[in-house]
């Protein structure tokens, strides 16, 4: 898998927060407002690098397009994980999905991620998300264990 740092949205980004919508650490600048889906296929690779922890919390991950690169304001949702309970977001959970075409009205200049935490505060959790050309072979595992 080719993993370009300029196409990375989040690198082990912390999801420990009060109820909030977190914006990805980075965004991808397409240069001009356009539909991200057509042409050479790209994929969103999203992986939990630390399990999400928080009693009755839920989280929804969204791939969005926006006219603003840093705030991702007034975003159009291209893909959503749907609202999932905290137990769904386990260490190593990985999505590799084709970047869909933009909704009616066309795409905007920037792509980014929103992580919507609801229901309760989360005390742990981290995610890595990036655009890739093909599916990854990388998996994340808990550290600090011994193999006997």
Contact between residue 110 and residue 72 where contact means Cβ atoms under 8 Å apart: yes
Spatial distance between the Cα atoms of 55 and 65, rounded to a whole number of angstroms: 31
Per-residue pLDDT tens over the stretch 58-102: 999 999 989 888 778 889 898 999 999 999 999 999 989 888 877
- pLDDT score of 46 more than 70: yes
- pLDDT score of 48 more than 90: yes
Is the pTM higher than 0.75? The answer reads yes
Output the pLDDT for position 49.
Answer: 95
Spatial distance between the Cα atoms of 144 and 124, rounded to a whole number of angstroms: 17
Task: For Cα atoms 43, 47, 49, give the angle at the middle one, nearest 5 degrees.
Answer: 155
Spatial distance between the Cα atoms of 23 and 73, rounded to a whole number of angstroms: 10
Per-residue pLDDT tens over the stretch 29-43: 888 887 776 667 788
Task: For Cα atoms 42, 94, 141, give the angle at the middle one, nearest 5 degrees.
Answer: 130
Question: For 85-124, where are the alpha helices, taking DSSP H only?
Answer: none
The answer for residues whose C-beta is within 8 angstroms of residue 67's C-beta and 6 or more apart is 33, 73, 74, 108, 109, 110
- Domain 5-100+107-132 in this protein, CATH class: mainly beta
CB atoms within 10 A of CB 18: 9
Contact between residue 57 and residue 120 where contact means Cβ atoms under 8 Å apart: yes
Enter the tokens of residue 72. 């991702």
């Amino acid at each position: 898998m080719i993993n370009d740092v300029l196409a990375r949205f989040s690198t082990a980004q912390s999801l420990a927060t009060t109820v909030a919508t977190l914006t990805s650490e980075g965004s991808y600048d397409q240069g001009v407002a356009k539909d991200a889906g057509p042409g050479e296929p790209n994929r969103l690779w999203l992986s939990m690098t630390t399990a999400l922890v928080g009693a009755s919390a839920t989280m929804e991950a969204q791939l969005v397009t926006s006219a603003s690169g840093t705030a991702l304001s007034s975003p159009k949702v291209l893909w959503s994980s749907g609202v999932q309970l905290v137990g769904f977001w386990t260490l190593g959970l990985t999505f590799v999905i084709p970047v869909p075409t933009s909704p009616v009205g066309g795409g905007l200049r920037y792509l980014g991620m929103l992580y919507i935490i609801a229901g309760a505060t989360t005390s742990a959790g981290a995610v890595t998300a990036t655009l890739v050309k093909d599916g990854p072979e990388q998996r994340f595992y808990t550290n600090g264990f011994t193999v006997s």
